[in-house]
Structure 1
Amino acid sequence: MLMRQPSANLQFTYQPPFGATLQEKGVQFSVFSRSATEMRLLLYNKVTDREPADVIEFDRETDRWGDVWSLSVQGLEAGQLYHFQASGPWAPEQGHRFDSAARLIDPYAQALAGTFQKSDDGVVRPPKCVVIDDTFDWDGDRHIRHELSDSVIYEMHVRGFTKSRTAKIKCPGTYLGVIEKIPYLQELGVTAVELMPVNEFPIRDIYGNKMSRPNYWGYDPMAFFSPHRGYAYDSKPGAQVNEFKQMVKALHSAGIEVILDVVFNHTCEGNELGPTLSFKGLENSVYYILSEGQHFTNYSGCGNTINGNHPVVREMIFHCLRHWVHNYHIDGFRFDLASILSRDRTGNLVPNPPMVELIAEDPLLADTKIIAEAWDAAGAYQVGSFGNHRWAEWNGRYRDDVRGFWRGDGGTLGSLATRLAGSSDLYEHAGRPPFCSINFITSHDGFTMNDLVSYKEKHNIANGEDNRDGDNHNISDNYGVEGPTRKKGVATIRTRQIKNMLSTLLLSQGVPMIVSGDEIRRTQKGNNNAYCQDNDISWFDWRLVEKNSDMLRFTQSLIQFRRNQPSVRRRVFLTGQPVDGRKIPDVSWFAPDGSPLNWGQNDLAMVAYIASPGRVDDPEGLGRDLVLMFNSTGDDRTHVLPEVGRGMKWNLFLDTAADSPDDIYPDLDGPMPPSNRVVDMPCHSLKVFVSHLVNI
């Protein structure tokens, strides 16, 4: 009798068709190259070996199948170190850059070991590829499948999160270190971590020297299928695979999803002056977009551009995404400079690009979240028009408009209201819901939230580029003093502004993304491009958890409120009309005096009334209405509680101008508004009142 095994005990693994595949008695090695005339497999005994212990020639007659070179080597096992080596034409004018001496990283390598070795003979010796046994006890772990509309995303750097001595943990700066700090993430309340690049990138330069400016952020990919070896606690080749899986499993056990920041727009091989490490030496004109047959296009701003809409490269990207989803249980991806995926093989932007559509429709990725950084370094800006409803986007318009409003820029009231309501101007026309907007005010790229209110200008001297790097358009302010200050008045306004922006972010329709450390006022000392700062400038300072516990409590309470209240995370756009069986509009806008808001007025104060849609998980349909009072002017004002809420009972939820603990009431039991319904609004402040439960 056939017995059905419980699905919870089954683990779906995905085996890409190329790379190194373990077999019963050996390893199968497969690599694509259309133009190579010879292919060799270099085998090493130790990570420190400069020369291979064995060189195996692929037989052109028996080991080549179409454009795929494939052979099986008996007696090898997991942990084996290897490179490929290819001979072929050196004809840059035709796009060919074969170098028969180059040691090549397998594009499908599942792990790398070691680092670039010093060279005295002109031969670049990159990290070695590792044959991996993908076996792992997931203990029934599956994708969590949080609804995107219910998500709160936390962007963080694996190393930077725990590398500081202040973390006081056993495994600082590693995947295992993240596990040690999971209780903090749980207490904060986020539903997902978005990890800055964790696929392989160079630790040292190509000649084995310590980099003068290390790529700390990791946006310099070298092997797309491999977890970064620099974040492993164990130095054994391939240990990063197991430790990364342990981290994902532990985060899932805590109810936290894992989203990867992936960089399918360029590689670390650079332009024609860069090294031959992998793709260049296997099929340069396929993997990269070239101009005039030989020059590397630079839509990425990093020297080259991946040819993402070539069928071979498209297939590699799909295999890579599936590999991370099914072999590492990754819950989603954020695509760096995703507009490059909208460019054809000549670099032109095309409507309905096949790569973008196929990612959205791929059945093996159906459980994942897909998020685009919908622009590139060559001028493409597709926020609001990238892909279909499956694609969410980093909403750069949200960032700029919210910053501008709270800085006090004139004419930003309407923009603030649009962003608060879910950016319907960007998404509704395309039939995309509010949660396609990933709302953020800060990201890894730019000022931290603390620095956004502490510096008018960038201070990037430590980067070694004479302060030329980094964006000059920060929409920031210092409120009277550049950098740290003991002036109480300046410090008060700065604290208030951070609370204003965090509150706006977490009370807006769409999906909020918080940058690691903003909740405790982490500073980069005015550096808005800390890509090379693998030090205290970038690392999470755990002393701030206690020092700025009031801001942490404020953020935790906001996240808790958001996760409990469907009013601020709707799946359809607000209409301004009565819905959900109620007689009042789902959203109403008022001037401070309670009259209908005149959008043409040049003011920076208003009142928003958001009606509850009811709790979708509560059979009684209970929810709360919200009144948000904004005053971004430099003057104290008064606002009137709208007539539409008369007869209901209200309590103060938050007041960004108040000192802790009176700045937020997690139990929604703050003071009631004055009996005359007139509320004092200090300058640069936000107040939110919540109604008692509403039965709809």
Structure 2
Amino acid sequence: MLMRQPFPNLQFTYTPPFGPIVQESGVQFSVFSRSATAMRLLLYNKVADREPAEIIEFDRDSDRWGDVWSLHVAGLKHGQLYHLQASGPWDPDNGHRFDSTARLIDPYTQALAGEFMKSDDGVIRPPKCVVIKDTFDWDGDRHIRRDISESVIYEMHVRGFTKSKTAKIDSGGSYLGVIEKIPYLQSLGITAVELMPVNEFPIRDIYGKKLDRPNYWGYDPMAFFSPHRGYAHDKTPGAQITEFKQMVKALHAAGIEVILDVVFNHTCEGNEQGPTLSFKGLENQVYYILSEGKHFSNYSGCGNTINGNHPVVREMIFHCLRHWVHNFHIDGFRFDLASILSRDRKGNLVPNPPMVELIAEDPLLADTKIIAEAWDAAGAYQVGSFGSARWAEWNGRYRDDVRGFWRGDGGTLGALATRLAGSSDLYEHSGRPPFCSINFITSHDGFTMNDLMAYKHKHNDANGEENRDGDNHNISDNYGVEGPTRKKSISMIRDRQVRNMLTTLMLSQGVPMLVSGDEVRRTQKGNNNAYCQDNDVSWFDWRLVEKNADLLRFVKSLIAFRRNQPTVRRREYLTGRPVDGRKIPDVSWYAPDGIVLDWSQQELAMMAYIAAPSRVEDPEELGRDMVLMFNSTGQTMDFTMPAMGRNMKWNLFLDTAAVSPADIYPDVDGPMPPDSMVVDMPHHSMKVYVSGKIPGEGKKSRG
């Protein structure tokens, strides 16, 4: 009888068919170009070389197979530096932009080395491509495969997280720096990091000059398959691959998944005035959406738009996603300006776009989380209607409605209730459960949580655009003084509002996303578009961990409660009807006086009674009933506990108006309500009472 032998360290890898492939006898280079008349391989000995040491011509007869140019070069190996160079028609009116002098980045290169070099001859010398042979030992690492409904996402910037001197580490601003701070991430309790773009983007301008306004965020892709060399501690060509994998492996060992923010909507080549660095010089009319066959369509707001629904580009994107998932063990993706993937080759939005469906159905991505930023820069807004149930979405409506309620905007009571209950108005019609909603109040794009309570207006003068950049619709307030203040009355309201927002986020149905630094009140000094601020404006100030330790304790306790409490992370929507065998509704809404809420009232104060599910995923998991009290008015009010819960034992879990440590009780053992069941609710505050444990009835089917 044959026995299956375990091989715990055997890893599944994925080899794209293009780019350089290392073989025993040398390296095979393959590149797509339909319209090129000639193709050359430029080989370099050192990163600092301005000119190639050898130029090898592809033979049109023996090295071209259909539209693929493929050449084997004997004797080459891992670490070889190269560019491509293509000749062809210069015919912009018909979409062709070949430049026989341009040194081109291979679209499938797995690593880049060096910088753009200074030029006095007009020739652009971009970073060099690196031939890579993967020998990394994953030591049995696998994808964590945590259900997205169980996730707490932490959006962060690899460089900014540890670049500040206050991080007090040797490898600040790098992949290795993230590893050194994993204990902090573990203590916070998050389950996944969502990394702002880590694929290659320019560090200097195309002629090697230091950029006055660097693209710190990284939303300017230059090589989709390559980890950014600027985040490597070791500057040896290709070292970024090893260090990136070390980071992923260490995060997985800590139980933390890795989600990448990917930008398949434009490249750094820009429009007609932009440089020829890669795609333009290989097959411009295929890789980009062109209007009238010649002008770059700009649905991204960045000068050009990737032609994602062209079969060749679609294939490239799939190879890229599989490469990151199976060669770098990435657990998921957040697709920047994902609505562009819904546009056809002429730029029209189409129903059931093939690209969106194929990503959801790809068997090699089946274990992968896929999250859409369901809009683009040309007016498409598809929140609630992007793709199938496999797709989750950044819920921009959640952000706006929660901000509006806590700011005191009229008519937002019902909107808050809908967001708290899982945004069924957006997702239920398409058969998507509440965990398809990625709830967030802040993101990298906009004010930080601290600044949302300190500034009415953006202050982006440091960006060099006379404060014209950035969103003007911030739904923020300063509560009397623009910016920092010593007035205790204003500081008190701001403190409460930060806690109100964070509490609402963590106790809403759906999946919460927290922005790095919000847990310790990181500030960008009112800058709501810090894309070019590679400095203390954007970097995580680690002194805040101690300075705002009380808020950090509050957030840690909130996250721990969420992860342990099935009541706030259901797989079905709250409906107001009895479910799961209990005789009480899953959610009930009450006015402050304890009677059923009149939704036509304008007063921004209410209670939500959320009943624990009696059937849960884990039969040993015990839910708790919860009463959430919201007072977004400027007056202190009395709230009367609903009659349905007066015969139950309740303990205070949190009070956003209280001073630490009385603001939160991690063990849910806070004071009981008064015997009168009338609770004093200060202005701009929230209280949460939690019942004793409700025994579960066993594992619930996911069918």
TM range (shorter): over 0.9
Q: How do residues 457-476 of structure 1 correspond to structure 2 at under 5 angstroms?
A: 457-476=457-476
Match of 1:366 in 2: 366
Would you say the 8 A contact 2:582–2:614 is kept in 1?
A: no
> Using the alignment, how far apart are the partners of 1:230 and 1:615 within structure 2?
49
Aligned length, in residue pairs: 696
Assess, with a 3 A threshold, how the Cα gap between structure 1 residues 621 and 184 changes in structure 2: closer, same or farther.
closer
- Give the C-alpha shift of residue 621 in structure 1: 5.8
Moved more, 146-155 or 3-12: 3-12
Distance across 2 between alignment mates of 1:127 and 1:323? 21
User: Does 1:635 find its partner at 2:613?
Assistant: no
Aligned twin of 2:485: 485
- Could you tell me how far apart the structure 2 residues matched to 1:538 and 1:245 are? 25
Residues in 1 aligned to 2:584 and 2:625: alpha-carbon distance in whole angstroms: 11
Corresponding residue SS for 1:692:
strand
Instruction: State the AA in 2 paired with 1:331.
Output: D
Q: What residue number does 2:553 align with?
A: 553
Q: By how many angstroms is 1:134 displaced?
A: 1.2
Query: Match for residue 154 of structure 1?
Result: 154
Q: Deviations over 1:157-204 (max 9, x none)?
A: 000000000000120000000000000000000000000000000000
Per the alignment, residue 532 of structure 1 pairs with 532
- Residue 687 of structure 1 aligns to a residue whose secondary structure is strand
- Could you give the per-residue CA deviations for residues 471-521 of structure 1, whole angstroms, max 9, x where no partner exists? 000000000010001110100100000000000000000000000000000
1:586-635, CA deviations, whole angstroms, 9 ceiling, x for partnerless residues? 00000110111111111100000000014725435631100000000000
Q: Does the 8 Å CA contact 1:79/1:132 hold for their aligned counterparts?
A: yes
1:170 equivalent in structure 2: 170
Question: Structure 1 stretch 80-89 or stretch 614-623: which is displaced more?
Answer: 614-623
**Aligned residue type for 1:675:** D
Distance 1:373 1:102 in 2: 34
SS of the residue 2:334 aligns to: strand
Indicate the SS of the match to 1:179: helix
Normalising to structure 2: TM-score of the pair?
A: 0.98
Look up the equivalent residue of 1:380 and give its one-letter code: A
Cross-structure match for 1:687 = 687
Q: Is the 1:389–1:431 contact (alpha carbons within 8 Å) kept by the matching residues of 2?
A: yes
TM-score normalized by structure 1?
Answer: 0.99
Residue 205 (structure 1) aligns with: 205
The within-5 A match list for 1:27-176 is 27-176=27-176
Query: Following TM superposition, by how much is the alpha carbon of 1:646 offset from its aligned partner in structure 2, in angstroms?
Result: 2.3
Structure-1 residue corresponding to 2:341:
341
Q: Is the 8 A contact 2:266 2:304 kept in 1?
A: yes
- Residues 20/5 of structure 1: CA separation in 2 closer, same or farther (3 Å cut): farther
Secondary structure at 1:333 match in 2? strand
Distance in 1, matches of 2:51 and 2:423, equals: 57
Match of 1:232 in 2: 232
1:549 counterpart letter in structure 2: A
Secondary structure of the 1:502 match is: helix
* 2:466 corresponds to 1:497: no
Q: Tell me what 1:589 maps to.
A: 589
CA contact (8 A) 2:565 2:622 kept: no
Match of 1:506 in 2: 506
1:574 offset after TM fit, Å?
1.0
Q: Paired residue for 2:10?
A: 10
Change beyond 3 A, Cα 1:9–1:3: farther
2:354 aligned with 1:354: yes
Alpha-carbon contact 1:113-1:229 (below 8 Å) kept: yes
Once the two structures are superposed, what CA deviation does each residue of 1:96-123 show, in whole Å capped at 9, x if it has no partner?
Answer: 0000000000000000000100011110
Structural mapping, 1:187-586, within 5 Å: 187-586=187-586
Alpha-carbon distance in 2 for matches of 1:5, 1:346: 53
Inter-partner Cα distance in structure 2 for 1:632 and 1:189: 28
Seen in structure 2, the aligned counterparts of structure 1 residues 101 and 3 have a Cα distance that, compared at 3 Å, is farther
8 Å contact from structure 2 (residues 646, 677) kept in 1: no
2:675: which partner in 1? 675
Structure 1: any 5+ residue segments left out of the alignment?
Answer: none
Q: Secondary structure at the match of 2:8?
A: helix
214-223 or 577-586, larger mean C-alpha shift: 577-586
* 1:82 counterpart SS class: strand
- Seen in structure 2, the aligned counterparts of structure 1 residues 618 and 373 have a Cα distance that, compared at 3 Å, is closer
1:581 Cα offset (Å)? 1.1
| Equivalent position of 1:658 in the other structure | 658
Cα deviation for residue 694 of structure 1 reads 1.5
* SS at structure 2 position matched to 1:625: strand
Residue 137 of structure 2 aligns with an amino acid whose one-letter code is: D
Q: Secondary structure at the match of 2:72?
A: strand
Deviations 1:538-575 (A, max 9, x none): 00000000000000000000000000000000011111
- Partners of 2:46 and 2:545 in 1: how far apart? 43
Residue type of the alignment partner of 1:638: D
Moved more, 1-10 or 171-180: 1-10
The question of whether the paired residues in 2 share the 8 Å contact of 1:566 and 1:614 is answered with: no
- For residues 405-438 of structure 1, give each alpha carbon's deviation from its aligned partner in whole angstroms, at most 9, with x where no partner exists: 0000000000000000000000001110000000
What secondary structure is seen at the aligned counterpart in 2 of 1:514? strand
Shift, 1:580, TM fit = 1.1
Tell me the secondary structure at the aligned position of residue 8 of structure 1: coil
Compared with structure 1, are the counterparts of its residues 418 and 226 closer, same or farther at alpha carbon in structure 2 (3 Å cutoff)?
same
Identity %: 83
Q: Which residue of 2 aligns with 1:25?
A: 25
The answer to whether the Cα contact below 8 Å between 1:565 and 1:615 also exists between their aligned partners in 2 is no
The CA distance in 2 between the partners of 1:192 and 1:611, in whole Å, is 28
Equivalent residue of 2:438, what SS? strand
User: 1:614 touches 1:621 (CA, 8 Å); kept in 2?
Assistant: no
Q: Partners of 2:242 and 2:221 in 1: how far apart?
A: 21
| Whole-angstrom distance in 2 between the partners of 1:7 and 1:462 | 55
- CA contact 1:439–1:513 (8 Å) conserved in 2: yes
Q: How does 1:594-605 map to 2 (within 5 A)?
A: 594-605=594-605
